[in-house]
Amino acid sequence: MAGTASTYDKALSDFRELDRKIRRYYEAVSLLSWDMRTGAPRKGLDVRSETVGMLSSEAFQLATSPLAGELLEQLEEKEAFNQLGEIDRKLVLESRKNYDRSVKIPPKLYEEYVVLTSQSESAWEEARKNNDFAAFQGYLDRVIGYTNQFIDLWGPKETRYDTLLDEYEPDMTVAELDGIFSSLRGELVPLAAAIAASPNKPSRSFLEGHFDREKQKEFSRYMLGQLGFDFEAGRIDESAHPFQTTINLKDVRITTRYLADDLTSALFGTIHEAGHALYEQNVSPELAGTSLCSGTSMGIHESQSRFWENTIGRSRPFWQRYYGELQGRFPDQLRISAEDFYRSQNTVQPSLIRIEADELTYNLHIIIRYEIEKMIFNEGAKAADLPAIWNEKYREYLGLTPPTDAVGVMQDVHWSAGLFGYFPSYSLGNMYAAQLSDTMERELPQTWELVAKGELAPIREWMTQRVHQYGKLRTPKEIILGATGKPLDSSHLVKYLRDKYTDIYKL
């Protein structure tokens, strides 16, 4: 039975209120979790974890409640839906997607899965330490098994792996990604080989030394100010692993880690997290307090962190402007030129470990993982098969063979935690960043002069206009098409890397 106009109004206001209430729970959960990672007393952590679990579960129950289902049904009626504004429509669509995804998994199955992944992560940690893949293999097979059950419950898309991809990068498909990644791989493998063969290698030796942590801290804050991070709507703290978290639209936090023997780790870490934070701080206030008030996907989010870290932060004009500032703080250690510093931050070297990889070979690490994940879910590869597959691909794409599984197939936590379909986001981020940057250079022809002068506001504003403001109001595909006029392709990243490294390595 169709409702009346006033039923719809009531449903809409109840629906908004429910969404807002769920967001408030997540605000609390985010802050409690942030606190656990930035200095909560050790002995209180067990109780805290339970409190986080309780509040998350309350939010989950609200989002999957019969009331949520009824309100969605009422608002999805054609007459009601047509009357909704743009934001409310999107809110209904997003909530429906999450609702269906959640209610399709029986609670008991999900609980088993949570317990399993927790055990599996511990097993992975231990197995990696002992370089004992056999001890981890059974867990991995079981995590894969549960993930396959979820795919069945959610309903497989074009391929089974598409169902997983869609969780992190909505509407991304294997068909599309196969094309993009195979052309990217085709270009990068020979380019990496040419770089490896070049005799013109940047020196990194000066990077050794002692770098006062307080001075690093002060420079990180200075840099955040330069990037346009709003300190009245965010803060920076320290944690073992850097991260960005959003408490609310005007409370966006990042962390970094200052190492006394490594100047650039915290520096680029800060710039990277600032990229995420600028995205979150600049979502349109119209979306404040709704579940649309956040980055639209992992890939687009990563495009923002990598744009600032690599495209801008590892560019020559950037260090023409800022090297003096850095050198002024570390005059005894930095006895080299701005140009040599710039080159040192752009070395390319095939390596075994993803998280230590440079911006070029990083993509090959990702493509390997993508291909293996497809084999698991679309071709039935088992955990036992993975070490051999892994090593063969590293030999083929990076010219290296891992001496142990610990630095090979077991290096990442993701699979042990059930995060399948997540890895592609990192390379998508690089490609989105390059494609956005290509358009920006045309629409803002003085881009690099601005960078060289440290006038970064117009660049940030361009990104806010094209990306940040929309939050989840637009899908990744809509964002990239709207901003650049065409769908994602890998050519801009290839061109960016080829131009940059041909120059640096004098290819």
- Going by the annotation, the residues of the binding site for Zn(2+) are 272, 276, 302
What is the SS3 assignment for 494? helix
Among 47, 197, 240, 355, binds a copy of itself (CB under 8 A): 47
Q: What residue spans of 41-106 are helical by DSSP H?
A: 45-63, 66-76, 78-83, 86-103
Helices (H), strands (E): how many in the chain?
21, 3
Please state, in angstroms and rounded to a whole number, the distance separating the CA atoms of residues 291 and 275.
Answer: 21
Site for a copy of itself in 373-432 (CB under 8 A): none
Q: Which stretch binds a copy of itself (CB under 8 A): 34-42, 81-89, 120-128, 478-486?
A: 34-42
Among 6, 43, 82, 205, binds a copy of itself (CB under 8 A): 43
Q: Is 215 in the site for a copy of itself (CB under 8 A)?
A: no
Please state, in angstroms and rounded to a whole number, the distance separating the CA atoms of residues 321 and 456.
Answer: 11
Q: Is 55 in the site for a copy of itself (CB under 8 A)?
A: yes
Q: Residue holding tokens 């940059």?
A: 500
Please state, in angstroms and rounded to a whole number, the distance separating the CA atoms of residues 494 and 434.
Answer: 9
Closest CB 290 distance from a copy of itself, rounded Å: 12
Sheet architecture: strand order including 244-248: 234-238, 251-256, 244-248
Among 5, 39, 210, 399, binds a copy of itself (CB under 8 A): 39
Q: Is 452 in the site for a copy of itself (CB under 8 A)?
A: no
* Shorter beta-carbon distance to a copy of itself: residue 253 or 477: 253
Q: How many CA atoms lie within 13 A of 309 on its CB side?
A: 24
Closest CB 208 distance from a copy of itself, rounded Å: 29
Q: Is 249 in the site for a copy of itself (CB under 8 A)?
A: yes
Query: What would the two tokens of residue 148 be?
Result: 């396959």
Closest CB 371 distance from a copy of itself, rounded Å: 42
Q: Is 17 in the site for a copy of itself (CB under 8 A)?
A: no
Please state, in angstroms and rounded to a whole number, the distance separating the CA atoms of residues 137 and 385.
Answer: 10
Site for a copy of itself in 254-293 (CB under 8 A): 288-289
Q: Residue holding tokens 């404040």?
A: 288
- Is 5 exposed, middle or buried, given 0-12, 13-18 or 19+ CB atoms closer than 10 A? exposed
Q: Which stretch binds a copy of itself (CB under 8 A): 21-29, 111-119, 424-432, 440-448?
A: 21-29
SS (H, E, C) 240-298: CCCCEEEEECCEEEEEECCECCEHHHHHHHHHHHHHHHHHHHCCCHHHCCCCCCCCCCH
Q: Is 232 in the site for a copy of itself (CB under 8 A)?
A: yes
Q: Which stretch binds a copy of itself (CB under 8 A): 111-119, 229-237, 323-331, 417-425?
A: 229-237
**Binding pattern for the stretch 346-375 against a copy of itself, x by CB under 8 A and - elsewhere:** ------------------------------
Q: Is 230 in the site for a copy of itself (CB under 8 A)?
A: yes
Site for a copy of itself in 102-121 (CB under 8 A): none
| Cross-strand bridge partners of residue 254 | 236, 244
Among 2, 54, 109, 260, binds a copy of itself (CB under 8 A): 54
273 is catalytic: yes
DSSP string, 18-41: HHHHHHHHHHHHHHHHHHHHHT--
Among 5, 9, 50, 380, binds a copy of itself (CB under 8 A): 50
Closest CB 457 distance from a copy of itself, rounded Å: 18
273, 309, 359, 373: which is the annotated catalytic residue? 273
* Residue 252 dihedral angles phi and psi, to the nearest 5°: -115, 120
Question: Site residues (CB under 8 A) for a copy of itself?
Answer: 21, 24, 27-28, 31-32, 35, 39-44, 47-48, 50-51, 54-55, 58, 230-235, 247-252, 288-289
